[in-house]
Structures are given as C-alpha cells and as structure tokens.
Structure 1
Amino acid sequence: MIRPTRPPARRGAARLGAGILTLALVATGCGGGGETGAGSATGTVTSITALDYYTDTTEHAQWGASLAACGRTVGVTVEQTSVPGASLIPRVLQQASSRTLPDLLMLDNPDLQQIAQTGALTPLDRYGIDSSGFARGILSASTYDGKLYGLAPDVNTIALFYNKDMLARAGVAVPRTWAELKTAAARLTRPGRYGMAVDANATFEGTWQFLPFLWSNGGDEKALATPQAAQALQLWVDLVKSGSMSASVLNWTQSDVSDQFVAGRTAMMVNGPWRISDLNEAKGLHWGVAPIPVPQAGQTPVTPLGGEVWTVPQSASRARQEKAAKVLACLNDSTTMLALAREHFTVPSRSAVASRYAEQVPSMAAFVQSVEAARARTGELGVRWPQAATGIYTAIQSALTGEQTPEEALTHAQQIATSP
C-alpha cells in the first residue's frame, strides 16, 4: 500500500553522539545456545542484520550510527540495509516466505499488524523488554492479538503551524476551536494568500491529515456514515468553499503544504514536526505551533500516531534473536530515545522523557501534548485499516470537489471500508 504517514526525510539539527547511547535493559526469556553467530568460531553471535526504509543519505547515516552504537553496547556489529519505503513490505513478505528475514526489522507502525499476522515476528515479552512508561497509543500500534511485537523509540503526529507575523498583523489569535479556525482563516485570507492549508490528496496522507478532525468530533473509522464524520468533512468543505483554503489542497502533499507556508501563500497549515528543520532555515519566517483545533473549547484533540517500530523476526537462531532484542532495548532506552528525538524532531515514546523534552525544546511541546492522546490507525480495525483509509480519502476528494455532499461521500466511504 502507499506509505500513508511516513514523513519525508527528517533532518535533525543536532548530530547524535554515539558515546551517549547506553543499554539500560537486559534481555531475558528464551534460552538460546548452540547457534553460531556470523564471524564467530566459538558459537557466539558477533553480528546481526537490520532492515529499514531510511534511504535518505543523512537519515540512513543517522540511524546507522544509532544501530552501531547500540550494537557496541551489546557486543555485536549491526549490518544495516535500507530499501525504499514502497519496497519494504513486499521484501519482508518475500523474506518471510523464504525464511531469510533480518535479525532486526523496522516497520512503519500501521504495517506491524499485517506482518505480525503472518507469524513472522516474535513477541517482545519473550525477551523481558521493558515497555513501561510508553503512551497508550504507542503500545496499541505495536500490539497484535494481545501481544506486543514492536517498540518505537520516537514517534510523531500533526499539529497546527501558524505564521506569527501574519496573525499579529491581522489581529488574529491562534485558533483553538473549529469556529475560531474558520474565522481566523477568513480574516487571514487575502489576494495571493490563503488562511489555511491541509493535505487533502487522494492517498493515505490525505486520510492522515483528516483523522484529527474526524476523531476529535467523535467520528470513527468503524462507522463512517455518521453525523460526527459528516460534520468534520463539512468543516473542510466550508474552508474551501469560502475561499479560506485553496482547492489545490486536493493535490498537495504535506511537503507541498509546507512549501506554501514557507512562501507566505498560507498563514496556517496542518503538518508534522519533520518540517521544523526546513522552517528553521527559512529566513524571516516567524512561526509557532499549537494543537489542532477541536470542535468545542476544552476538548483534547485526538491525532494519529506516526513513527516506526523495531521488531525481532522469527529465525532459527535464538541467540541472534536475543542479541537483536538487546539492540532493540537499547534503541528504546530513555537516553537513546531522547537523543533520537532531538536529532529527528520527533517525540520520545516514554511519557516522562517526552515531558522533559517538551521543556527543553518548546517548539515540540504541542506535539508532545498531542502524542499523549494520539491513536494508532490500526487500533480499531487492525489489518482492515487500509480499506477504511481508502474510503476516507475518496470521500474527501468527492466532497471537496462538490461531486457529493459529505453525507453522500461518507456513505460511499463506508461501502469501500466494508467491501470484501
């Protein structure tokens, strides 16, 4: 399936120092023994393999350094292979059938359910890995059939970015509710500039951007043909019809939306923290970020959880699995996840670490706040999520073009979501 929410290459501001990575957790559980490791004449495991989709040169090097550092604490060399995102799942499924999976496997969190369903992954309780202190949505995204199969060192979600200068000149406060958003977007709109921008394209990325509006209004992907879902979609329709949001959002990616924001052609946008490094490099741009507006004052926005989880696949070698699990534990150590979050502009997955991080990096505070209530996309439907996601972005397209009313579009979306 099309990669729904994996952000573009995230270029962090700080370089990760390998020396600060520590392994605080010792894997226990399954006893291995007798299996030989790569490069070993004594039966010990000296190297393991890892597969991910970090093909961007900078990102590949950053994660390679993290894997290497954790490998050193465990006493193994980690041989990292990166493939394009669209190629990862086909490759994993092929390797699962041929029993040639890597020792350590990274997955975009919505894909974990599909791979765990095949029996290709081992549950992490087998290794005694500590999963305490993680936000609920993070554990949900990593769980299949009641068992935890992966952990994410850092995660992401989306929030509302705004141009401080434009809002100040227009006398507009940062919107907190849908009504305030519509008013603010209208007042900020003028020739050559829209008040608001989202990614509403016909991919899972468009669905991802719509989910906070759907979920925060009580909508649910299990039943899309509801008044709550229609009200959320009507909000986007109203923004386009009023001229506060460009009809071109039907074709924009999240990167396109960010480009519009940087160029001053939109005063507000929905986007993720992976855009922050680019925003920081834009001369003269004074921006802020806040939680996505909610239907009524006092509500907490419910946003989708993005990020990648690390897993330990099935293999013939228990010893290699245990070494891989120790590297996985190292990546999810509090010190490591804090360093990764600083590097990638992401949110540490342990809530206590995330709280400290928000104090240290104020631009990430809205994302830290939102992650606590964020939901896994597969939390309700599991492996059936892609069908619902397809129905949602199809409905968005139909409603924003005026082809169907939100109610009609969502009725069709429900048919797509429940089709055999």
Structure 2
Amino acid sequence: MRGRRRPRRAVTSFAAVSVLVSGAALTGCAQERDSDVYTVMNSSTDESYHRWDAEAMARCGTRLGVRIDQQSVPAAQVMTKALRMASSKSLPDIVQFDASEMPTFAEAGGLVDLRALGLATDDIPQGIVDFGSYRGTYYGAARSVNTLALFYDKDALEQAGLEVPATWDELRDTAKKLTEGKRYGLALSAGGAEDGVFQFTPFMWSNGGDETELDGPRVVQALDYWKALLQDGSLSRSTVNWTQADVNDQFMAGNAAMMINGPWQVETLNTDTSLHWGIAQIPVPQAGDASVGPLGGAVLTVPRTGDTDREQTAGRIVACLAGEKEQLTYALNSWMVPANEKAATVWRERVPELDALADQVAEARSRTAQLGAGWPAVSLALQSAFQSALTGRSSEAALKHAQQRATSGNRGTRP
C-alpha cells in the first residue's frame, strides 16, 4: 500500500487465475527474447518511484552483465496485465506483485520457488519471509515493507496540553478534545476499497479479532470503536469515502489533528515545513497490548515460464534488487522499512524520527498469512461491512453478513 491516489483493485477469482496460468504460462515461452534483456513489470508509475527503480535496475544490470527494462503499470492492473501476458505466453521475467495478490498467482502454480533459485532468507525476519511466502514456499522477495502508524500534529497536541494517546480510551478522549471548528480529532480511511481494510486490521488484530471469523465479538468491538469515534464527531462522515491519500490531504490542510496512515505519505508531508508532525504506534485496546498492524508492500517474483535459464538469471536479478545495499537505498528514498535486518538497523540510525514505524513493523502481520488466495473475498466483504455499519447498520449485523459473503466467496478455495 503506497502512493497518493490508489485506484480500486479488481479482484480476480482464483478459478480464472488458475485456468489462465496453468493453461498458458506453464506451457513455455511463445516469443523469442533477447538473451541479454530482462523485463521487470511493476507498479512504479509515480515519477519518483519509477526513477529509483530504474537506477537500481541499471546498477544491478551492470553488475550482472544484462540489461533490465522496467515496465510500469497502475497497481490495480498488475494482476490482470500478468494474466493477459500469461495467456499470450509473453510473461515478463520478473513481476512485482502486491503481497496480498501474490498467493493467488502462486496457488495456480505460476511462480518459481526463490530458494530454488539461490535466494537466502537468513537476514530477513520470519514475519517478512512469511509475507513473501505461500504454504511455506518463498515466492516473493520484499525490498522494503510498510505498515500503518498514528501521525499527529505536534503543535495541536501541545496547544491543547495533551499527550500522544496510547490506548483506545486515550485516543477517543484525545480525538474528542482536538475536534473543534472545521478540524476533526482524527482522520482515517474507511472507504470501500483495500485502503479501508488495511486501516481496519490494526483495530481488529490488536483487539484479538481474526479474519477467519469476521462476525466474532472481537471484530464487532473493533468496528463498534470506529462507530463510536464517528458518533463522537471526532471523525468526518466522509471517512467512508476517503482513501489514505484523502486522509493525508485532510491532515495537511489542518482538517484533522491526527491520522492513521503510512510512510508513503512522508515525502508529501515534508513539503510543508510549517507542519510539525510526529508518529507513534497505533493505540491499543488496553495498556500493554501489542499494536498489531498489517504488513504492506510489494514482492519481486519470478514467473514460471518454462525457460529455466532465464528463470535462473531472473533469480539473480531479484537477489540483487533485494540485496542489503539496494534495500537500504530504496528504503531511504521511499521512507519504507528495509526487509533485511542489517539494512533496517542502519535505516533506524539514518531516520530516527520514524523509529516508531520500525517498532510497528516488528509486530506486523501479512493479510494473507491465514487465508492465502482467500483474502480477496474477505477484503470485499469487510469493505461492504464498513459502508453499512458506518452509515447506520449495527456492526454485528454488518459483520454477520460479511462473514456469510466471505465464506461464499471462498467456497472451494483452500486456506
């Protein structure tokens, strides 16, 4: 999850992926390729990200004696583009999937085990290894990861004589006190897209809720907490329509004193030198609870094309792009947290103002860890529940319907 305005992702069914990948991609490459030119498809359409990736690919290409071309498409189109290319037997050598989409392609047999290509995971925390794995097989190498944190306006809290909240009660009380005039105490995204689901998971997971039981009491309590913030007037009623980019816009405009957001907003936040912001871990239900957020980011994968020589070289390219040195460079540019532990240690020293984010990453979880390719059905069900509950329906009824919808959507899909 990153970027300014993320279009809604099209959720592609596992059945469709399975037919296209197993029936097309695995039959071999139909087109002749230049033996010294390799293609990476990613979602780096933002000018800065595209440039950073191009520079990294140029360095790795020089090191490996090949040319690496970058093909960037909007994030919402990566999966559908990869499927079209699979059907025409023209898959790129490397695809950078959002980690929540990778299991769908892996389940269909479309990806190569990166360990079999020589990639090691010794210096990567197990949670991040799991983030790039499906059923214990390591398919996706993360260069950096991200999660959510509580951003706050230092001046607003200081003027009100308030401390940074650490628990749900403190957050609710602080948000109430900071709400005045056109300014809301808190901004978050509860929109009908993956942005909203991403933002709900810290409240669901930190409260002991689980994506396998959306109508469980702990999940209901988490959604009721969102409803309470809305009923207090601490959240704008427009929150049901906001993306994470919209939330950042509201915070920067002075229309919110705090927000839930991620490090991809830091570059934009720093353009306003009059805004004095800080970050903290997302408040938890009770003092002493772990603040468990979602791991976000993308992973580099090697599609199974049938050309084992090219797959081996593609693996070396992934190893270079996801190596310690390149990870640190990428993370310092993008404000994300390096996946490699050694690189992350240096990163903490270089950007101490984001130290709380690294602490949040340490407890973060992958959205697909439990459900794998079944996650998209849960995501869609939760999106509908937010819209329903925050506009009047009870959380219990909205989530009961969500559980029924998710179960129906995952019927026939193995967890």
Question: When the two structures are superposed, what TM-score results if normalisation uses the length of structure 2?
Answer: 0.89
Q: Is the 8 A contact 1:48 1:324 kept in 2?
A: yes
Alignment-derived partner of residue 202 in structure 1: 192
Q: Distance in 2 between matches of 1:136 and 1:301?
A: 18
2:399 pairs with 1:417: no
1:258-273 matches, cutoff 5 A: 258-273=248-263
Q: CA deviation at 1:378?
A: 0.7
1:7-406 matches, cutoff 5 A: 7-8=3-4, 45-402=35-392, 404-406=393-395
Deviations 1:359-380 (A, max 9, x none): 2202221221111111111111
Q: Structure 1 unaligned runs (5+)?
A: 11-36, 40-44
Question: When the two structures are superposed, what TM-score results if normalisation uses the length of structure 1?
Answer: 0.88
Q: CA deviation at 1:9?
A: 7.9
What secondary structure sits across from 2:205 in the alignment?
A: helix
1:406 maps to a residue whose letter is S
Alignment-derived partner of residue 31 in structure 1: none
1:389 maps to a residue whose letter is S
Q: CA deviation at 1:319?
A: 2.1
What secondary structure sits across from 1:50 in the alignment?
A: strand
Q: How many residues are matched?
A: 385
Q: Distance in 1 between matches of 2:254 and 2:200?
A: 23
Alignment-derived partner of residue 21 in structure 1: none
Alignment-derived partner of residue 30 in structure 1: none
Q: CA deviation at 1:7?
A: 3.1
Q: Is the 8 A contact 2:2 2:264 kept in 1?
A: no
Q: Distance in 1 between matches of 2:168 and 2:126?
A: 26
Q: Is the 8 A contact 1:351 1:372 kept in 2?
A: no
What secondary structure sits across from 1:160 in the alignment?
A: strand
Q: Distance in 1 between matches of 2:192 and 2:5?
A: 21
- Larger relative contact order (C-alpha < 8 A, sep ≥ 6)? 1
User: Between the two proteins, what is the percent identity of the paired residues?
Assistant: 43
Q: CA deviation at 1:204?
A: 1.3
Q: Structure 2 unaligned runs (5+)?
A: 7-31
Q: Distance in 1 between matches of 2:70 and 2:147?
A: 26
Q: CA deviation at 1:38?
A: 5.3
Q: Is the 8 A contact 2:324 2:342 kept in 1?
A: no
Q: CA deviation at 1:269?
A: 0.2
2:125 maps to a residue whose letter is A
Q: Is the 8 A contact 1:156 1:346 kept in 2?
A: yes
Q: Is the 8 A contact 1:203 1:390 kept in 2?
A: yes
Q: CA deviation at 1:73?
A: 0.8
**Which 4+ residue blocks in structure 1 deviate beyond 4 angstroms?**
none
Q: Distance in 2 between matches of 1:275 and 1:158?
A: 11
Q: CA RMSD in A?
A: 1.7
Q: CA deviation at 1:6?
A: 4.0
Alignment-derived partner of residue 14 in structure 1: none
Q: Is the 8 A contact 2:130 2:136 kept in 1?
A: no
2:201 maps to a residue whose letter is L
Q: Is the 8 A contact 2:5 2:245 kept in 1?
A: no
Alignment-derived partner of residue 28 in structure 1: none
Q: CA deviation at 1:233?
A: 0.8
